[in-house]
Structure 1
Amino acid sequence: MRKSRATWLSRISTVEMLFTATVTLVASLIGSWLKQLPVLNLFGALILALILGMLLQFPIRIGYVGRNDARRAGVKDAAGLISNKLLRLGIILLGFKLNLHVLFTQGLKCLPIALVVVTFTIVVCYAIARALHIDPMLAILTAGGTGICGAAAVMGLSGAIKVSDERQNEKDDDITMAVAIVAIMGTVFALLEIALGPLTGMTHNQLGLVAGASLHEIAHAVAAGAAFGAVDIATIMKLSRVLMLVFAAIAIAVWWDRFHAEVEPDGKRSIAFPWFMLGFIAASIIGTFVPFVSGIAPHLVDAAYVVLGMAMAALGINVNFKAIASKGRKAVLASFLASILLTCLTMGIAVLFF
């Protein structure tokens, strides 16, 4: 225990950790500010923080790291620690966004729809990705981000996938790729739905339901719902899908352990269980039923996005651009095809049941 504590202290009490934490915090805050601007609000704070982190990689490498190998290793370790630990804290805090009373009353009809569309999208997107010979880790992260709630889902599901230290860089690159892919797809389909939705002849509520059930990021669903004058149903439908993140993370943890877990040198398997998802549920319960906490829940959600933005910026700092260029194209196609099928499915559900 003392050795473990000493190791942690040695990793967090460094100049590189202070530098990296400051840089990622600034990137996260700038991303939160930029999301308020027209057009950029379709991307959301997390995607913007990731992009800023990727851009900052170059000045950090040239101006701060230089040829100092120890400093390079320190920044890499600090960014990895921030992306790994803060994403879990951010997901827990994001639970305060879920008002269970609203979901289980006004959104009661949306919950079974969310279960159907999330299951359908993850299974179909993963199947398409594997048919295109995409590796299982990138395939499932892309499928989860497409089916549930974009970047937050990718980061949440990544906690259900445990890999060896040797493969951690590969995992980080896959997370970054999946986040970028669902950001692109979500933005493209949000613009398409806003432009073409009124031409379908569906009612405002039906269009709002489709937006909440098919678009990837919460920002996308809210933007499209507002354009249709149905932001409430779009938001409730989207939050119903966010709730599915808990069950999806647990199911994927079990599935990954069963079919893809790595074997340790002592013969044991690397098992990961997303315990932080229990914190996500606890936060949603506390935020819904504890009066004092429910009053400050919006501020806690803002804090969640700042923390998650730091994790995203840290991913961007460590991203391998060559890996993204070589592996990302087929994953984009898989998400695109799955998004088309998801939109068609949700339009059918909207016409039949709303």
Structure 2
Amino acid sequence: MTWGKRIATKQMLLIAVLTLAAACVGVWLKQFPGFSLFGALIIALIIGMIIQFPIRAWYVKDDPERATGVKDAAGLISNKLLRLGIIMLGFRLNLQVLFTTGAKCLPLALGIVAVTVILTYAVARFLKVDPLLAILVACGTGTCGAAAVMGVSGSIKVGADRTEEKSNDEVIAVAIVAIMGTIFALVEIAVLPLLGLSQEQMGIVAGGSLHEIAHAIAAGEGLGATALEMATIMKLSRVLMLILVTIVVAIWWDRFHAEAPAGGKRKIAFPWFMLGFVAASVVTTLFLGQSKDVVTTLVDIATIFLGMAMAALGINVDFKAIARNGMPAFLASFLASIVLLALCIGIAVWLF
């Protein structure tokens, strides 16, 4: 089916309107206490998972053509708007700040991400988690939550028969890192002040150990102004590592897990959209460094696109697959998150 025919359908209009509404509700709700810990993307995903039921009951009913149209529209939105949103998320990164104020954080972020991704994946595989779900959970835990899960997923190529499985694994991984980040954000807000750490040290711990940007910011705000500044810098240093992680995972997956085509060479699913992410961060660094309102607006637009992608992902999710495959992956992320928190506390005390 051509692009024009896939886009110009009633189902595409329906799903586009519903996912846009879900994304906007997510952005609105994240302002309130409690919801801020989840962030707009996770809220949008939850809304998408909920509205799949009325869509099936009131619109799809027993019409296979409508069911196929809804599934295709949601898949297209989650795939394309995800990449556009991640590209625009690059406007959040001011490389000058990271390479000056955050210069000390960058090598630490590289080490933290490498250790956490490898550890989480190893534990998940020990617990018999499928390699695809294991690497998505590992990258979400080690890098930057939902954006990392979806960004890394974009660098992994699977056969047509595993497309639905991949979508379900994306939702499971996003849900796991969302829950894990919320739990550990609350733990850190309560426990870190009791350890005698300075605000700078607490910020390093929050930014280095928490999963979503929303989690790091929420914890930083609860720990003090200096803690918030350091948590943001440390967290954005980990976000920058997403570029390297997606490339490494693409090469690794192609070598060890990609399915050989019927006749011909395998083609690495290189995450070209990450080059757009880099370009956006360069634009911010060179031209928008002092234009905070412009950067905020661009990041807000990125959040809307990502929210629509997450809601579309939720519309297609298979709840039975989550129940069947989620618990071992959850346990792997939980155990790795404990090690990550201990590692970051040690780094903060030793180097800051």
TM-score range, shorter chain: over 0.9
Query: Is 2:42 the partner of 1:47?
Result: yes
CA spacing shift, 1:325–1:100, aligned 2, 3 Å: same
For 1:206-225, list aligned pairs within 5 A: 206-225=201-220
CA spacing shift, 1:262–1:270, aligned 2, 3 Å: farther
Give 2:19's aligned amino acid: T
Structure 2: tracts of 5 or more residues without a match: none
Give 2:167's aligned amino acid: D
Q: Secondary structure at the match of 1:235?
A: helix
Residue 64 of structure 2 corresponds to: 69
Contact 1:286 1:294 in 2 (8 A): no
Residue 325 of structure 1 corresponds to: 323
Q: Deviation at 1:266?
A: 1.7
Query: Is 2:298 the partner of 1:300?
Result: yes
Question: If the length of structure 2 is used for normalisation, what is the TM-score?
Answer: 0.97
Query: Is 2:257 the partner of 1:274?
Result: no
Residue 345 of structure 1 corresponds to: 343
Residue 124 of structure 1 corresponds to: 119
Q: Specify which of 98, 111, 115 is matched with residue 93 of structure 2.
A: 98
Contact 2:94 2:289 in 1 (8 A): no
CA offsets 1:223-256 (integer angstroms, 9 cap, x no match): 1111111100000000000000000000000100
Q: Secondary structure at the match of 2:201?
A: helix
Q: Deviation at 1:201?
A: 1.3
Q: Secondary structure at the match of 2:128?
A: coil
Q: Secondary structure at the match of 2:260?
A: coil
Q: Specify which of 94, 106, 121 is matched with residue 111 of structure 1.
A: 106
Q: Specify which of 189, 193, 196 is matched with residue 188 of structure 2.
A: 193
Residue 249 of structure 2 corresponds to: 252
Question: If the length of structure 1 is used for normalisation, what is the TM-score?
Answer: 0.97
Quick one: distance in 1 between partners of 2:289 and 2:105? 28
Residue 3 of structure 1 corresponds to: none
Residue 86 of structure 1 corresponds to: 81
Give 1:123's aligned amino acid: I
CA spacing shift, 1:42–1:136, aligned 2, 3 Å: same
Query: How many percent identity over aligned positions?
Result: 63
Query: Is 2:136 the partner of 1:141?
Result: yes
Give 1:335's aligned amino acid: S
CA spacing shift, 1:302–1:68, aligned 2, 3 Å: same
Give 1:195's aligned amino acid: A
Contact 1:261 1:270 in 2 (8 A): no
Q: Deviation at 1:268?
A: 2.9
Quick one: distance in 1 between partners of 2:251 and 2:12? 33
Moved more, 244-253 or 157-166: 157-166
Residue 60 of structure 1 corresponds to: 55
Give 2:307's aligned amino acid: G
Contact 2:155 2:250 in 1 (8 A): yes
Q: Deviation at 1:271?
A: 2.4
Quick one: distance in 1 between partners of 2:17 and 2:267? 33
Query: Is 2:246 the partner of 1:243?
Result: no
Q: Deviation at 1:314?
A: 0.4
Quick one: distance in 1 between partners of 2:241 and 2:72? 32
Contact 1:172 1:315 in 2 (8 A): yes
Give 1:202's aligned amino acid: L
Quick one: distance in 1 between partners of 2:63 and 2:351? 62
Q: Secondary structure at the match of 2:211?
A: coil
Structure 1: tracts of 5 or more residues without a match: 1-5
Give 1:219's aligned amino acid: A
Q: Deviation at 1:270?
A: 4.6
Quick one: distance in 2 between partners of 1:166 and 1:317? 19
Q: Secondary structure at the match of 2:2?
A: helix
Contact 1:286 1:293 in 2 (8 A): no
Contact 1:225 1:234 in 2 (8 A): yes
Residue 167 of structure 2 corresponds to: 172
Residue 27 of structure 1 corresponds to: 22
CA spacing shift, 1:275–1:294, aligned 2, 3 Å: farther
Quick one: distance in 2 between partners of 1:83 and 1:236? 29
